Structure 1
Amino acid sequence: MNLTVLGSAAGGGFPQWNCGCPNCIAVREGRANFEPRTQDSLAVTARDPRDASYVLVNASPDLLEQIKRTRPLWPKAPRHSPIRAIVLTNGDMDHVLGLFSLRESYPLALYATSAVRRGLEENAFLRTLQRFEGQLVLRTLEIGREVEIRDASGETTGVHIRAFAAPGKLPVHLMASGTASDEDNVGLVLHDGTSPKKTAVYLTACADLERRTDLEGHAVLLFDGTFYCEDELRKLELSRSLAKDMAHIPIEGETGSLARLASIPGCRKIYTHINNTNPILSLASEERRTVERAGFEIAFDGMEITL
């Protein structure tokens, strides 16, 4: 199985359009040790990447740019796409807005939990993906049940996924009308069906690590690296919110993800979904060196992971 990190930034990307924090200023000015990043998304294939069908995990607002710079996702005929299905981990705007860029009358399958699906179906914009019967085939992603991802016609992609509940929150646009549930935010276990021990976990929004069992026993763990410290936004006077208020566990500290995940053996650990304020975005920062000394990697746009 091959995983391509299409986007490694949190919502807003890097730089964020309205942010003048030191990191965003540095990347805009093209300073050494800083590279721009697009918003969180992953492309997965269980076949030869040169001639494969792909499953996207999340559809970020930057999806068209991500496709443009990822050659295996280019069309191979006048009307064609290697992208056959999309799996959503939650209903946040930075994970669903890219769907509406895929409106040019091409059949796709969309997998989401019942709660996320309800939020989407309340959105009138979904009609742009329903111009003909079968343009968008909606399939329910059940927590704890492994599924073989299939395209809109029912043909298998070879990618197997199991969703598990992860501590999170309702998307901001649904807070006034929705009811919180375990289906609002999920992590994913991915494999190709032939090597059950070669699994990857993708969990980019996680409020705490009290329930850690789903993260153990895998070859690769792509985990929430949004904030380095709990009060990161407060220190920069950008927001009054703490990391926990936004359903993210920080990297540092005794209860942070670096300390809590370090004890998981035999697993390649990679931080992704990195906020524009996070000091690990600088290749020369002490915070980045701390993460790397602990054996963790930091994802970047275009990163390839092979299992």
Structure 2
Amino acid sequence: MTILRVLGSAAGGGFPQWNCNCRNCDGVRRGTLRATPRTQSSIALGDGYQNWIIVNASPDILAQLRASPALQPARAPRDTSIVGVILIDAQIDHVTGLLMLREHRRPLPVYASAAVLSDLSTAFPLTRMLSHYCGLDTRVLALDGSAFAVPQLDAVELTAVPLESKAPPYSPSRNAHRIGDNIGLRIVDRQSGRRAFYAPGLARIESHVFEELSVADVVLVDGTCWTNDEMLALGFSTKTAADMGHLAQSGPGGMIETLDRLPAARKVLIHINNTNPILDEDSPQRHELEAHGIEVAYDGMEIAL
């Protein structure tokens, strides 16, 4: 049985964000808001014992590992159960954690698209930096629908699914879409046949993405913003959610409307921005999600496939 564990459920900056005093961040610090702090978006896939794949390595990875004892089996003086890292994109909040894993005793297996590996060898040269430490054993993900497995956890079948979002702001390709700048991940437990689809960044529900969502038993998808103008209305940004590569939850064509069309047993929002009112467990927006049967991911959440 494959275990999907949410290591971090917030968008970049976490919740509360260190420099933010929006209603959510201020309220959770003061204890006046019923909300749970969250670290930055990442999940782990494992057999529940000694082999785990990390999907996205957030800047909070050390705290996430401390909160997940199964990922430190302590079989030797230096040990880990991490057998590989898969990168969904090259966003800072999804790749900087690789620097925190520099003490790995051998080159760390990292699976990513050619576009992501290009950014990580040029604009943000993590591959070059880490060559002076453990090094990275990079594996280019195929984007043609072919499945792959990570050695030591081959009971999990994985498929990279190209999707529309945005390359990181630092990338030369920020405004020039490349296939592979962002992917979703199809996750299939070979024994049970159950599948999940993970896509923390979604700008648009393309037809092939909707097909993936439609056949998944569990979907974990972009929960960044409630409204498209959320950051604008609060005066925190000059960009809409769409400008940043995210589909808002509410409104015509939004994520709620899409999720309502799916037969999936579990529909979960992840990568939640600190400004999103769904973080307030007493908010009308949170109650609206509950009425639609949509869950909000939290750090430590586990789903069995």
Q: Deviations over 1:212-269 (max 9, x none)?
A: 1121111100010000011101111111211110110000012101012211114310
Who is 2:205 aligned against?
209
Q: Structure 2 CA distance, aligned partners of 1:267 and 1:175?
A: 39
- Matched AA of 1:149: V
For the residues of structure 1 that align with 2:175 and 2:163, how far apart are their CA atoms? 18
Alignment CA distance shift 1:169-1:32 (3 Å): closer
Deviations 1:89-123 (A, max 9, x none): 00000000000100014232100000001111224
What TM-score does the superposition give when structure 2 sets the normalisation length? 0.93
**Contact in 2 for aligned 1:159/1:193 (Cα 8 Å):** yes
Q: Judging changes above 3 Å, is the alpha-carbon distance between structure 1 residues 65 and 164 closer, same or farther for their aligned structure 2 residues?
A: same
> Where do 1:32-43 residues align within 5 Å?
32-43=33-44
Unaligned runs of 5+ in 1: none
Deviates more, 1:33-42 or 1:72-81: 72-81
1:106–1:135: 8 Å Cα contact kept in structure 2? Answer: no
Q: Which residue does 1:175 correspond to in 2? A: 172
Q: How does 1:233-272 map to 2 (within 5 A)?
A: 233-272=231-270
Cα distance between partner residues in 2 of 1:105 and 1:207: 35
Determine if the alignment matches structure 1 residue 199 to structure 2 residue 195.
yes
Per the normalisation by structure 1, the TM-score is: 0.92
1:210 CA drift (Å) = 3.2
CA contact (8 A) 2:224 2:270 kept: yes
Answer yes or no: is the 8 Å Cα contact 2:83–2:150 preserved in 1: no
Which residue identity is paired with 1:52? Answer: Q
**Using a 3 Å threshold, how does the CA distance of structure 1 residues 202 and 272 change in structure 2: closer, same or farther?**
same
1:225–1:274 contact (8 Å) kept in structure 2:
yes
- Partners of 1:80 and 1:59 in 2: CA distance: 18
Which one of the candidate residues 53, 56, 62 is aligned to 1:55? 53
1:157 CA drift (Å): 4.6
Match of 2:95 in 1: 96
Task: Quickly say closer, same or farther: Cα 1:179–1:172, change in 2 above 3 A.
Answer: same
Residue 67 of structure 1 corresponds to which residue in structure 2?
65
* Matched-pair contact (CA < 8 Å) for 1:105–1:129: no
Distance 1:53 1:300 in 2: 22
8 Å Cα contact 2:168/2:174 also seen in 1: no
5 Å-filtered alignment, 1:150-161, equals: 150=151, 155-161=152-158
Contact 2:8-2:299 within 8 A present in 1 as well: yes
- Structure 2 counterparts to residues 53-132 of structure 1, below 5 A: 53-76=51-74, 77-107=76-106, 108-122=108-122, 123-131=124-132
Q: After alignment, is 87-96 or 178-187 more displaced? A: 178-187
- Shift in alpha-carbon separation, 1:176–1:249, aligned structure 2, 3 A: closer
- What amino acid is the match of 1:106? R
The aligned counterpart of 1:288 is 286
Distance 1:105 1:209 in 2: 38
Contact 1:55 1:157 in 2 (8 A): no
Q: Compared with structure 1, are the counterparts of its residues 105 and 44 closer, same or farther at alpha carbon in structure 2 (3 Å cutoff)?
A: closer
How many angstroms does 1:202 deviate by?
0.3
The 1:288/1:53 distance shift into structure 2, 3 A limit, reads same
Gaps of 5+ in 2: none
Partners in 2 of 1:116 and 1:266 — Cα distance? 30
- What is the aligned-residue identity percentage? 40
Secondary structure in 2 matching 1:270: strand
CA–CA distance in 2 between the matches of 1:298 and 1:167?
Answer: 22
Secondary structure class of the residue paired with 1:189: strand
- 1:178: Cα distance to partner? 8.3
Q: Number of matched residues?
A: 298
SS in 2 for 1:182: coil
Residue matched to 1:163: 160
| Other-structure match for 2:276 | 278
User: 1:44 and 1:166 mapped to 2: Cα distance?
Assistant: 21
